[in-house]
C-alpha cells in the first residue's frame, strides 16, 4: 500500500508493515485488518509515531498483562520526565487526580486500593441494580407493532449505562449530560500522555469541576448511608487499618463514572452492529436465549469497546523475539489478540455460539476490570429486551464512523431499524 515501509525485524526476512499512524482513517475504521497484518508480519512492532511497542499476539499480550516487569503507571513517567518544571506546576491538579486512579497503580499500592474497591462490587450490589436496568431499558426503546427507526447511541446505548453508573455513584439524573461532557474531556487524556494542548486544558478543567460536583454528594452519602449502594460501600470500605482517603474516594468515583459509561455504551452498540450484519446469528439467538451470555463475550472478542492497553517496562524484558528496554512503552493490542488464529478458530467470523471466554477486552491479571459483572449484566439485559421486542434489526447506513482514538472503539452514530 502507499503507506507501507520496509523494515527488518529481528534480523530475519524483511517485512512490509503498515504506516505507524494509529489514527489513520483506515485504521480507525477497521482496526482488525490493521492489527491482523501486524500480528502476522511484525508481532512485536516498534511504532515510531506512538513511541511504543505494539504487541498483537494473544500469548504475548497475556504474558505482558501478567508480568510484574510492566507497570500500569504510565502517567508518572510522562509527568516527571517529559514535562518542564513550569508545565508540571501547571498540570499538577490534573496529574494529582489521575494518580489516585487504581488503573495507574502498581504493587504494592494497587493491592491496597483494589482490596478497598473490590468490596463495592459484590454480586449483591451488582445484582441489586438488575430490575432498574430492565425498567430503564424498556422505557428507552419503542414498543408496539411495525418498524421503528432508532438512533442507537443517543436513544439507547448512551443513556442506559450512563444512567446506571450515575445512579450507582449518586449523580442526579438531570445532570447526566454534564457527567457525559466531563467524561468525554477526561477520557481523551487518560492514556498515559495527559493529552496535549487544548485537550489537556479541557481535561484539567473537567476533572476539577467533576470533583467539586461530587464532593457534596459524597458528604451527603456519608451522613445517609444506603443498602446495596456502590457509593456507600466505597465510603465505608475498610481493610485492616486502611480506608480510602477523600481524594481517593473522589478520584475513584470519577474513574467509575468515566470507565463505566462509554465502554459499556460501545459494547452495546458494537453488539447490535454485529447482529445487524449477521441476521442469521440474530435469528439463532431469538430461538435460543441461552446464547445471550455467550453473545456478549463474543462481541467483546469480535469488536470490543477497548482496542488497546498501555504499560511501561520496569526492566529489560523479552517479548517474543524482541528485547524491550527498561522504560519503553508497550501498547497491548487486545483487538489483535482477540482475532489471533492461534487462539480462536476462524477469528474473523462472528459466532454467537463460540466459547470466547479467552477474550482480553476486560484486561487480565491484577487490573482485570472491576466493573465487568456490571457491564455484562447491562449488555445482557439490553440484548434480552431487544430480542423480546423485535424480530429483526437492520443498519440504516453502509458505513459507520468511529471516533479517532487509540484506546477506545467508539461508533459515532448508529441508525438502525428494529422490526417487531
Ligand atoms: C479496569 C475494560 C466497564 C471499572 C479495566 C481494564 C479494562 C477494562 C481493559 C483494565 C485496564 C488495564 O489493565 O490497563 C472495560 C470494558 C468495559 C468496562 C471493556 C465495558 C464493556 C467498566 C464498568 C466499570 C469499570 C461498568 C465500573 C462501574 C473499572 C475499574 C478498573 C477497570 C475500577 C480498574 C481495575 C484495576 O486497575 O485494578 N476495565 N471496563 N469498568 N474497570 Fe473496566
pTM: 0.93
Calculate mean pLDDT across residues 101-124: 91
CA nearest ligand 1 atom 2, residue:
362
Amino acid 321: pLDDT: 92
Pairing between strand 70-71 and 308-313?
Answer: antiparallel
Instruction: Tell me, in angstroms, the distance from the centre of ligand 1 to residue 372's CA.
Output: 7
Answer for the pair 260, 368: CB distance below 8 angstroms, yes or no: no
Judged on CB neighbours under 10 Å (0-12, 13-18, 19+), 24 is middle
Mutate to test the pocket of ligand 1, among 163, 369, 373 (most ligand atoms within 8 A of CB): 369
Amino acid 8: pLDDT: 42
Instruction: Tell me, in angstroms, the distance from the centre of ligand 1 to residue 4's CA.
Output: 34
Domain ranges of the chain: 5-419
Mean pLDDT, rounded, of the chain:
92
Higher pLDDT, 412 or 6: 412
Name the band, by pLDDT with cuts 50, 70 and 90, for residue 192. Answer: low
363 ligand 1 Cβ < 6 A: yes
182 ligand 1 Cβ < 6 A: no
Amino acid 37: pLDDT: 96
Answer for the pair 175, 163: CB distance below 8 angstroms, yes or no: no
CA nearest ligand 1 atom 4, residue:
371
Q: Residue 47 contacts by C-beta under 8 Å, 6 or more apart in sequence?
A: 20, 22, 53, 54, 331
211 ligand 1 Cβ < 6 A: no
Question: How much of the chain is helix, strand and coil, in % rounded to 5?
Answer: 55, 15, 35
Angle among Cα 115, 119, 123 to the nearest 5 degrees reads 135
Amino acid 131: pLDDT: 95
Instruction: Tell me, in angstroms, the distance from the centre of ligand 1 to residue 399's CA.
Output: 28
Calculate mean pLDDT across residues 279-299: 98
Helix (H) or strand (E) holding 331: strand 329-333
Higher pLDDT, 69 or 82: 69
pLDDT over threshold 60, residue 278: yes
Instruction: Tell me, in angstroms, the distance from the centre of ligand 1 to residue 296's CA.
Output: 16
pLDDT over threshold 70, residue 114: yes
Name the band, by pLDDT with cuts 50, 70 and 90, for residue 188. Answer: confident
259 ligand 1 Cβ < 6 A: yes
Pairing between strand 392-395 and 70-71?
Answer: unpaired
pLDDT over threshold 80, residue 68: yes
CA nearest ligand 1 atom 30, residue:
370
Calculate mean pLDDT across residues 409-419: 97
Amino acid 17: pLDDT: 52
Calculate mean pLDDT across residues 334-351: 98
φ and ψ of 70, to 5 deg = -120, 130
Distance CA 133, CA 167 (A): 11
Distance CA 54, CA 308 (A): 9
The DSSP bridge partners found for residue 114 are none
Per-residue pLDDT tens over the stretch 16-50: 556 899 999 999 999 999 999 999 999 999 999 99
Calculate mean pLDDT across residues 298-319: 97
CB atoms under 10 Å from CB of 109, counted, come to 11
Distance CA 154, CA 157 (A): 7
Cell of 238: 475498610
**Domain 5-419 grouped into CATH 1.10.630.10:** yes
pLDDT over threshold 90, residue 3: no
pLDDT over threshold 60, residue 11: no
CB atoms under 10 Å from CB of 393, counted, come to 21
CA nearest ligand 1 atom 7, residue:
362
ω before 124 within 30° of 0 (cis)?
no
Judged on CB neighbours under 10 Å (0-12, 13-18, 19+), 306 is buried
ipTM: 0.99
CA nearest ligand 1 atom 24, residue:
371
**Least confident interval from 130-139, 177-186, 267-276:** 177-186
CA nearest ligand 1 atom 17, residue:
263
φ and ψ of 151, to 5 deg = -85, 100
Answer for the pair 272, 295: CB distance below 8 angstroms, yes or no: no
pLDDT over threshold 70, residue 295: yes
Amino acid at each position: 500500500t502507499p503507506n507501507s515501509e520496509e523494515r527488518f525485524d529481528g534480523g530475519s526476512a524483511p517485512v512490509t508493515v503498515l504506516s505507524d499512524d494509529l489514527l489513520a482513517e483506515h485504521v480507525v475504521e477497521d482496526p482488525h485488518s490493521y492489527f491482523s497484518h501486524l500480528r502476522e508480519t511484525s508481532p512485536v512492532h516498534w511504532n515510531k509515531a506512538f513511541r511504543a511497542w505494539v504487541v498483537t499476539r494473544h500469548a504475548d499480550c497475556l504474558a505482558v498483562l501478567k508480568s510484574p516487569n510492566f507497570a500500569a503507571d504510565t502517567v508518572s513517567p510522562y509527568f516527571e520526565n517529559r514535562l518542564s518544571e513550569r508545565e508540571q506546576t501547571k498540570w499538577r491538579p490534573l496529574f494529582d487526580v489521575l494518580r489516585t486512579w487504581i488503573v495507574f497503580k502498581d504493587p504494592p499500592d494497587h493491592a491496597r486500593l483494589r482490596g478497598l474497591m473490590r468490596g463495592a462490587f459484590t454480586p449483591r450490589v451488582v445484582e441489586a441494580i438488575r430490575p432498574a436496568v430492565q425498567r430503564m431499558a424498556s422505557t428507552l426503546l419503542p414498543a408496539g407493532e411495525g418498524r421503528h427507526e432508532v438512533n442507537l447511541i443517543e436513544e439507547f446505548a448512551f443513556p442506559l449505562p450512563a444512567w446506571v453508573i450515575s445512579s450507582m455513584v449518586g449523580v442526579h439524573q438531570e445532570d447526566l449530560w454534564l457527567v457525559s461532557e466531563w467524561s468525554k474531556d477526561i477520557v481523551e487524556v487518560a492514556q498515559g500522555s495527559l493529552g496535549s494542548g487544548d485537550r489537556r486544558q479541557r481535561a484539567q478543567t473537567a476533572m476539577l469541576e467533576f470533583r467539586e460536583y461530587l464532593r457534596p454528594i459524597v458528604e451527603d452519602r456519608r451522613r445517609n448511608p444506603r443498602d446495596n449502594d456502590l457509593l456507600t460501600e466505597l465510603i465505608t470500605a475498610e481493610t485492616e487499618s486502611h480506608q480510602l482517603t477523600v481524594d481517593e474516594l473522589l478520584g475513584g468515583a470519577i474513574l467509575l463514572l468515566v470507565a463505566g459509561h462509554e465502554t459499556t455504551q460501545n459494547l452495546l452498540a458494537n453488539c447490535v452492529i454485529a447482529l445487524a450484519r449477521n441476521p442469521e446469528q440474530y435469528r439463532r439467538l431469538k430461538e435460543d436465549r441461552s446464547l445471550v451470555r455467550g453473545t456478549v463475550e463474543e462481541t467483546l472478542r469480535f469488536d470490543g469497546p477497548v482496542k488497546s492497553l498501555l504499560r511501561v517496562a520496569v526492566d529489560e524484558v523479552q517479548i517474543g523475539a524482541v528485547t524491550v528496554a527498561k522504560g519503553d512503552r508497550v501498547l497491548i493490542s487486545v483487538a489483535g489478540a482477540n482475532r489471533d488464529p492461534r487462539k480462536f478458530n476462524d477469528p474473523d467470523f462472528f459466532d454467537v455460539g463460540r466459547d470466547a471466554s479467552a477474550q482480553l477486552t476486560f484486561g487480565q491479571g491484577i487490573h482485570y476490570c472491576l466493573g465487568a459483572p456490571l457491564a455484562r449484566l447491562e449488555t445482557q439485559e439490553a440484548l434480552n429486551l431487544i430480542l423480546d421486542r423485535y424480530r429483526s434489526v437492520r443498519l440504516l447506513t453502509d458505513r459507520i464512523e468511529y471516533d479517532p482514538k487509540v484506546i477506545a472503539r467508539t461508533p459515532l452514530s448508529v441508525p438502525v431499524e428494529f422490526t417487531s
